[in-house]
């Protein structure tokens, strides 16, 4: 077997020895700079001396290795045999020195930390004493000014509270431990149809329509010390029901005994009615689309049966039994066609008169209806309405349905993370149309779904959360208004920068005067 060449190992040994010297000097220089920057730092001082010992050790060891290779290359192995014990002894002594420095480091650093902690504690105590002394001095010098300032702050705070209490459009109330309302604002009295407030004559026990709901309210209030977004039904003075959303906080005395509560109630009656209307409209749209689909599917085979029965009648005598049977088939097929035609008429949207509509007023109404639900999902609404927007021609009820549907879709896209919902209007003078954009910061629409989102029954929502008819119906309504609806996702900003989210753009022609009757063409 041939001997392996030793040249690579010799080169590596010599280069490595040189690198050891270079790196040790670099470490030594770095610790030198650190000690210059912080001369009193114990850690830098220790590392400086450690690196010095490391430099000496690296010089000794690297020099020994390089001398060894030089002597071996020059065939003076005998000289290296003589020097080897001395070189090893020096290296051993230096290694012991490094080990000793390392051992003493732990004890030294413990002492250093103890001194630093003690010094920091004393410094902090002195600073606290000095600060307390300055505070006492300032209080003694400006006690009267501080009292006046605090009095003004309290007066301002009370003024803000009173403004909120009296100007709030929601019901604000305070109750004692028995549930008796001790104070209530004018908005609350108006919500309950009371003209004036008589202390002690009104209580939560009287207002709650369901005793079990009242019991649940009190249990949650005392257990959690607060109640948030609690739905209930209040009885008004005339006996009618108002749906409210309650948020309340419990009040406890110094002994932590329940002493009453304070809360806010928001009227949800209009929202409930609008929600029920939307659900009903969506159900009707679903039934209509289903009826249309069934009708179209049945219409084709019915036409074929009717056509063949009429053709076959020509092959038989009018007095024959076969002819009579074919007449029965023809008559029943025509009856089925009439039923299908009725289904199609039912599924079509009926024409409605188009009048002049103020888009900003319509959008403001839609946002006021959906605002509470948006706030519950931590969604902020930003309105970017163009001034002096001309009116459009259309059916306000159907357009309201479109915008509510778009805002609900945007809310669903942001219900987990929240964000900003932007409603923007722009007037295009050249095209004489108005663009309404509903922009969210949600997850967006995938490229594969963009061409399907206006299809009936297509939805990306979970089962039970959507029928897939909202955008389909909205598309039909906008088409009926001679407009267009498009989707943009992701959203392009300035300099073609793309942002996550979805923007729904609706273009509608402006109103040129005169109400028209628009009929669906099927």
Whether residue 357 is found in the same domain as residue 326: no
Whether residue 359 is found in the same domain as residue 444: yes
* Domain contains 440: yes
What 3 state SS string does 232-287 have?
A: EEEECCCCCEEEEEEEEEEEECCCCCEEEEEEEEEECHHHHHHHHHHHHHHHHHHH
Which residue has better confidence, 520 or 368?
368
Whether residue 419 is found in the same domain as residue 480: yes
Whether residue 375 is found in the same domain as residue 514: yes
Of 186-190, 316-320, 340-344, give the lowest mean pLDDT range. 340-344
Max mean pLDDT among 8-17, 285-294, 513-522 falls in 8-17
* Domain contains 154: no
* Nearest alpha-carbon partner for 474 in 423, 407, 403: 403
The whole-number average pLDDT for the span 463-477 is: 65
What values do phi and psi take at 293, rounded to 5? -65, -45
Whether residue 299 is found in the same domain as residue 381: no
pLDDT band, residue 350 (cuts 50/70/90): very low
Which residue has better confidence, 146 or 246?
246
What values do phi and psi take at 205, rounded to 5? -60, -30
Q: What is the pLDDT of residues 125-142, one digit of tens each?
A: 888 888 887 877 776 666
DSSP 159-180: HHHHHHHHH-SSEEEEEETT-B
Laid out side by side, the sheet with 379-384 consists of: 379-384, 419-428, 433-440, 502-509, 484-488
The whole-number average pLDDT for the span 466-484 is: 75
Average pLDDT, the chain: 78
Boundary residue ending a domain (76, 109, 126): 126
* Domain contains 477: yes
Distance between CA 504 and CA 405 in Å, rounded?
Answer: 11
- Please, is 220 exposed, middle or buried when counting C-beta atoms within 10 Å of its C-beta (0-12, 13-18, 19+)? middle
Boundary residue ending a domain (74, 108, 126): 126
* Domain contains 55: yes
* Domain contains 133: no
The whole-number average pLDDT for the span 235-251 is: 89
pLDDT band, residue 101 (cuts 50/70/90): low
What per-residue confidence (pLDDT) applies to 194? 86
Boundary residue ending a domain (95, 126, 157): 126
Whether residue 276 is found in the same domain as residue 259: no
Q: What is the pTM of this model?
A: 0.38
Which value, to the nearest 10 degrees, does the dihedral of the CA atoms of residues 102, 104, 105, 108 take? 180
pLDDT band, residue 438 (cuts 50/70/90): very high
Whether residue 343 is found in the same domain as residue 356: no
* Domain contains 235: yes
Q: What is the pLDDT of residues 152-183, one digit of tens each?
A: 777 676 667 677 677 788 888 889 888 888 88
For residues 409-426, one letter each, b for 16 or more C-beta atoms within 10 angstroms of the residue's C-beta and e for the rest, the string is bbbbbbbeeebebbbbbe
Whether residue 215 is found in the same domain as residue 278: no
What per-residue confidence (pLDDT) applies to 464? 45
Whether residue 113 is found in the same domain as residue 231: no
Q: What is the pLDDT of residues 30-74, one digit of tens each?
A: 888 888 888 777 677 777 777 777 777 777 777 767 776 777 677
The whole-number average pLDDT for the span 340-369 is: 72
Tell how strand 379-384 and strand 419-428 pair up: parallel
- Please, is 189 exposed, middle or buried when counting C-beta atoms within 10 Å of its C-beta (0-12, 13-18, 19+)? middle
Q: What is the pLDDT of residues 400-433, one digit of tens each?
A: 888 988 998 888 888 888 899 999 999 998 889 9
Whether residue 175 is found in the same domain as residue 28: no
Max mean pLDDT among 98-112, 154-168, 192-206, 505-519 falls in 192-206
pLDDT band, residue 519 (cuts 50/70/90): very low
What per-residue confidence (pLDDT) applies to 353? 57
- Alpha carbon 401 to chain centroid distance? 25
CATH classification at residue 429 = 3.30.565.10
Tell how strand 392-394 and strand 352-357 pair up: antiparallel
Q: Can you say whether the dihedral through the CA atoms of 10, 15, 19, 22 is positive or negative?
A: positive
How many domains does the chain contain in total? 4
What per-residue confidence (pLDDT) applies to 6? 62
Whether residue 281 is found in the same domain as residue 365: no
* Domain contains 47: yes
Q: What is the pLDDT of residues 19-30, one digit of tens each?
A: 777 887 888 788
The answer to whether 27 and 51 are in contact (CB under 8 A) is yes
The answer to whether 426 and 434 are in contact (CB under 8 A) is yes
Distance between CA 489 and CA 447 in Å, rounded?
Answer: 8
Whether residue 396 is found in the same domain as residue 461: yes
What range defines the domain where residue 373 resides?
352-518
């Amino acid at each position: 077997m041939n001997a392996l060449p030793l040249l690579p190992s010799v080169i590596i040994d010599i280069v490595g020895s040189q690198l050891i010297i270079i790196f040790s000097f670099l470490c030594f220089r770095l610790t030198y700079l650190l000690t210059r920057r912080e001369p009193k730092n114990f850690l830098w001082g220790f590392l400086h001396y450690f690196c010095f010992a490391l430099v000496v050790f690296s010089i000794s060891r690297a020099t020994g290795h390089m001398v060894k290779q030089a002597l071996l290359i020059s065939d003076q192995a005998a000289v290296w045999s003589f020097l080897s014990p001395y070189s090893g002894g020096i290296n051993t002594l230096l290694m012991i020195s490094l080990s000793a420095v390392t051992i003493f480091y732990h004890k030294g650093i413990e002492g250093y930390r103890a001194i630093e902690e003690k010094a920091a504690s004393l410094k902090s105590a002195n600073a606290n004493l000095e600060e307390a002394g300055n505070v006492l001095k300032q209080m003694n010098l400006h006690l009267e000014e501080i009292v006046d300032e605090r009095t003004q702050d309290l007066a301002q705070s009370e003024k803000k509270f009173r403004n909120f209490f009296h100007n709030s459009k929601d019901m604000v109330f305070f109750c004692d431990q028995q549930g008796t309302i001790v104070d209530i604002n004018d908005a609350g009295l108006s919500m309950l149809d009371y003209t004036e407030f008589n202390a002690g004559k009104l209580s939560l026990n009287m207002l709650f329509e369901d005793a079990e709901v009242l019991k649940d309210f009190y249990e949650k209030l005392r257990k959690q010390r607060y109640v948030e977004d609690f739905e209930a039904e209040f009885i008004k003075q005339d006996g009618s029901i108002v749906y409210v959303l309650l948020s309340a906080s419990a009040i406890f005395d110094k002994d932590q005994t329940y002493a009453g509560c304070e809360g806010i109630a928001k009227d949800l009656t209009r929202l409930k009615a609008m929600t029920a209307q939307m659900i009903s409209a969506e159900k009707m749209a679903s039934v209509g689309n289903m009826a249309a689909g069934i009708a179209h599917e049945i219409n084709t085979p019915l036409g074929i049966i009717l056509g063949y029965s009429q053709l076959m009648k020509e092959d038989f005598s009018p007095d024959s039994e076969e002819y009579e049977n074919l007449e029965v088939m023809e008559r029943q097929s025509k009856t089925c066609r009439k039923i299908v035609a009725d289904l199609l008429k039912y599924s079509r949207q009926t024409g409605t008169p188009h009048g002049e509509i103020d888009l900003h007023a319509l959008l403001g109404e839609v946002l006021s209806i959906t605002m509470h639900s948006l706030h519950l999902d931590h969604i902020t609404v930003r309105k970017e309405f163009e001034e002096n927007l001309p009116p459009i021609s259309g059916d306000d009820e159907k357009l309201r349905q479109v915008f509510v549907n778009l805002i609900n879709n945007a809310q669903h896209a942001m219900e987990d993370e929240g964000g900003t919902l932007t409603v923007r209007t722009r007037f295009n003078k050249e095209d004489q149309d108005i663009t309404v954009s509903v922009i969210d910061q949600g997850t967006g629409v995938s490229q594969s779904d963009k061409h399907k989102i206006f299809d009936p029954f297509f939805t990306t929502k979970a089962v039970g959360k959507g029928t897939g008819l909202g955008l389909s119906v909205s598309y039909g309504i906008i088409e009926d208004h001679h407009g267009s609806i498009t989707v943009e996702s992701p959203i392009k900003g300035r300099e073609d920068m793309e942002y996550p989210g979805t923007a729904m753009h609706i273009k509608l022609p402006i109103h040129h005067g005169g109400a028209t009757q628009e009929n669906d063409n099927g």
